[in-house]
Structure 1
């Protein structure tokens, strides 16, 4: 009888063990597999980069202001002229910031003659002008907004004629400074167009007319230049 009881106890124990294991297996469910998140293979880059050398041409208008006073007789030799020229330089882009250096030269014929109350005549003419400037701007992809400033130069031809008809003339190059700004747009990866404004100050030199009765005087020379241009980027 003891053996029958022992066998019954062992059978009941086995049933409990295997039944519990089966029930635990039914209760456990493995979590569903999660697909790995997509990782971008590359960071999007700007469609256009301004770094590189360039050359170009421009057309525009130049307004020359020449103000002075001879023996108490003030005068103003203000004149306008169409201009055309060439430019070239180098840009370097860091993020959205664009830094560069540019040189340009323009030709136009600003000329004006003034008759004073004394009967004397004076004339100022500006032909060639140019500059070497630094540029700093902010790029909105293919749009570039920039400021610029540096050294300016211009060739002035002056002439004075007194009431007796004696004439004296001279041609000299004046150096000064210039500041301005502009907007440039890259039409293609090599071609860009722009609009630009520059103000230049050539100081207040003393002008004399040897051999004539026209008195020496100081004149103030400034100019405004507005132009459009096209550049080819290498």
Structure 2
């Protein structure tokens, strides 16, 4: 009899531990536990960005033969290897549409750019000198975006058209005659890049982005005090690394 009582007591003592191992039951009619919702990238957004721009803005003397011979005789430069760089800031707006984990969209931006460079030369002959300069003043792009989302993290590639205001100048003095010339205007080209964006709540996202742009090249002519006119060619291309913040509607 004592053995039966002892076994019963031990069984009752083990019941709480056994019950703790059983899965929790939901009372009839009670709602199921809520699952964390996945972030949805679909929607319009606006934002601002800032970063650094750098690139190439080489200016080359490509004619005429008499001026090239003059430069060669004076050991003067026939080109300026320029790498304009500087701060950039602006705004962007766009729209995303998400299908499963794929996100497609379009974005337009407009940025002020302070990227410029200049090179100069002073010759052995009295008064002989040369200078080259290049500058990009603003840049705007309209690009498609295609990305892959892992909940609130989006990795994307982007590409489209680019527009910008750029200018170049050249001057040369051989000690007797002087040539000066320059060009300025709005250029069109393309932009290509990639980035990663993070949504830290329903409405606000932050991104880091790289873009390469190419606004093509331009030929221009210098004025001259002599009988020959110099022909020059300049190109405008560069890179941008920037961070941005967006408000999603």
Whether the 8 Å contact between 1:91 and 1:99 is mirrored in structure 2 is yes
Pick from 95, 117, 142: which aligns with 1:90?
A: 95
When the two structures are superposed, what TM-score results if normalisation uses the length of structure 1?
0.75
Partner of 1:69: 60
Q: 1:10-49, aligned counterparts within 5 Å? A: 46-49=37-40
Aligned residue number for residue 155 of structure 1: 165
The 8 Å contact of residues 160 and 214 in structure 1, kept in 2 or not, is answered as: no
Decide whether the 8 Å contact of 2:84 with 2:134 is kept in 1: no
> Which stretch shifts more, 210-219 or 46-55?
210-219
Alignment of 1:1-12 (within 5 A): none
SS of the aligned residue for 2:192 comes to strand
Query: Hey, what's the Cα distance between the residues in 1 that align with 2:89 and 2:190?
Result: 20
State which of 235, 240, 247 in structure 2 corresponds to 1:220.
235
Other structure's SS at 2:223 match: coil
Following TM superposition, by how much is the alpha carbon of 1:199 offset from its aligned partner in structure 2, in angstroms?
A: 0.4
DSSP-derived class of the 2:104 partner: strand
Q: Number of paired residues?
A: 195
1:177 aligned partner: 190
- Write the distance in 2 (CA, Å) between the matches of 1:196 and 1:77: 24
Contact kept? 2:52, 2:85, Cα under 8 Å:
yes
Which of 43, 48, 59 matches 1:52? 43
- Structure 2 residue runs of 5 or longer lacking an equivalent are 1-30, 62-67, 69-76
> What stretches of structure 1 of length at least 5 have no aligned partner?
1-39
Distance in 2 between residues matched to 1:46 and 1:139, nearest whole Å:
14
- Mean Cα displacement is larger for which, 62-71 or 178-187? 62-71
* Pair 1:233 & 2:248 matched: yes
In 2: Cα distance, 1:151 partner to 1:45 partner: 39
Change (3 A) 1:81 1:214: farther
Q: Which residue of 2 aligns with 1:208?
A: 221
Distance 1:104 1:147 in 2: 16
Partner of 1:123 in structure 2? 133
Deviations 1:161-194 (A, max 9, x none): 2315654443201111110000000011000000
Residue in structure 1 matched with residue 17 of structure 2 by the alignment = none
1:50/1:92 contact within 8 Å kept: yes
Shift of 1:136: 0.1
What is the TM-score when the length of structure 2 is the normalising length?
A: 0.71
Deviation at 1:42, TM superposition (A): 11
- Cα RMSD after superposing both structures: 2.5
Q: Give distance in 1, aligned partners of 2:218 and 2:158.
A: 25
